[in-house]
Amino acid sequence: MKITRLLYVEDEVIYSFISSLLKGSNEKEIYFWFSELYYSGFKKKSIALIQQVYYDYYYYHNTSFVSYLEKQIKKSQNDKSIVPLLNIISNLMKMKKNSKAFQLTQCIKNSKSTIKEDTNKKINIKIINKLIGYIKDDKFLNFCSLLCHYKNSVKTIETLLIKQYRINYNKHISIFHNLSRVVAILVSVADNKIVSKKKGFYYRATPQMVEFVFSIDKNCKNIEQRLFSIHSNIGCFSLSRMSEKFLKRFYIQWEYYAYQSPRWKRRMKNYIESVDTKKKKIVFKNDDAMDEFYEKFYIDMEDGSFEYIKKSMFLMEENTFENWLYSYFPKKERIVDFSVLPFTSLL
């Protein structure tokens, strides 16, 4: 379990960002969750997440956007700034979404297939065309079964797709799973959704929204900056809180879990003597060092207003993955029966 800047749990921040983006009704909330991950020090993960979300839900109807997305990612990395990433999100919020590629990706990722890949049988264009044919013929289980057989060769499939269909993207920019990108491209090729013509203009995050993100970071010691609640419908995922005695460990050992976050690790650097991984405890240099650290950085989650504490400290409701998915997409898009899959994670 890793704790973020404002003492949320990292994986719950990620799922809340995805959920709020797909819901699309609260612009501030979307920016809030993304900036919570980014400013907690998970910058590479933030970029991987934004790529993943694009290919999972938005690539299908917006294939030409990839050039702008990669340009903004590069600018963010060069300038060490969140603003270009907020620009990407500003566009995603206005885009038409589709769950077809996402469903197929999750079917393959969460399949318990025991078929071993034949390493002597090389991936070739015939296999790729067969995969595309299965999608065209709505033989989605055949598609998943065949790609399951070759999912360890995803990078090779990517290379062949680039050559054969002149797909434009930078495969060196990080993403959680190359599988998401490959499936999105295969589905888009099959359904004739690949568009090379670039849009004339793209949106930017408004100055008001950028200032909103900056202001939270400037005042992140204040518990009142915990503006939004973790989404209660993400209980269908294998969350880190489920493998921990969450509430007890959070209050007693919060420093240890916060130390797993890059931002908190930097904060603690000059105050701690060691990290006891067996007892899951931070050992401060002395009482003065501990007092100074607490005075400088501690967010009071014990005596603070319950209104802000309950934003993450609550019992997570049980949910099914299908209930989660079809609260954001129409059921007519359903092509995979997730009730028979051992679903655990989007990431």
* CA atoms in the 13 A half-sphere facing the CB of 25: 4
Return the residue matching tokens 């294939």: 63
Closest Cα to residue 83, out of 92, 75, 93? 75
Q: Which of 184, 199, 214 is the last residue of a domain?
A: 199
| Full residue range of the structural domain in which residue 94 is found | 42-199
Residue 291 backbone phi and psi in degrees, to 5:
-65, -40
Q: Which of 2, 79, 77 minimizes the C-alpha distance to 37? A: 2
Please check whether residues 129 and 188 belong to one and the same domain.
yes
Check whether 111 has a pLDDT greater than 80. no
In this prediction, residue 345 carries a pLDDT of: 67
Residue 194 and residue 246 share a domain: no
Q: What pLDDT is attached to residue 45?
A: 94
Is the confidence at residue 61, as pLDDT, over 90? yes
134 and 193 share a domain? Answer: yes
Residue 70 lies in a domain: yes
| pLDDT one-digit tens code per residue, 147-169 | 988 888 888 888 888 888 878 77
Q: Say how many C-beta atoms besides its own lie within 10 A of residue 31's C-beta.
A: 25
Instruction: Quote the pLDDT of residue 78.
Output: 94
Kindly indicate the confidence band of residue 318, based on its pLDDT and cuts at 50, 70 and 90.
confident
Same domain, 53 and 177: yes
Is residue 242 included in any domain, yes or no? yes
How far is residue 220's CA from residue 309's CA, in Å, rounded to a whole number?
Answer: 14
Q: What is the pLDDT of residue 222?
A: 79
Selected residue with higher pLDDT from 38 and 175 = 38
- The whole-number pLDDT of residue 199 equals 67
Most confident of 57-71, 191-205, 211-225: 57-71
| Three-class SS of 197-236 | CCCCCCCCCCHHHHHHHHHHHHCCCCHHHCCCCCCHHHHH
Q: Please give the tally of structural domains in the chain.
A: 2
% of the chain exceeding 90 in pLDDT: 56
Q: Is residue 22 part of a domain?
A: no
Distances from the Cα of 70 to the Cαs of 101, 160, 167, 175, 285, in angstroms?
A: 20, 21, 14, 12, 44
Is there a single domain that holds both residue 169 and residue 261?
no
Mean pLDDT, rounded, of the chain: 87
pLDDT of residue 240: 83
- Say if CB 6 and CB 226 are below 8 A apart: yes
For residue 343, being part of any structural domain is answered with: no
| pTM for this entry | 0.90
212 occurs within a structural domain: no
Q: What is the pLDDT of residues 218-246, one digit of tens each?
A: 888 778 889 999 999 998 888 888 766 76
**Mean per-residue pLDDT, 190-213:** 87
pLDDT confidence band for 176 (50 / 70 / 90) = low
Q: Are 53 and 6 in contact (CB under 8 A)?
A: no
* Size of the chain, expressed as the number of residues it contains: 347
SS3 of 34, please? helix
* Res. 275 pLDDT band, cuts 50 70 90: very high
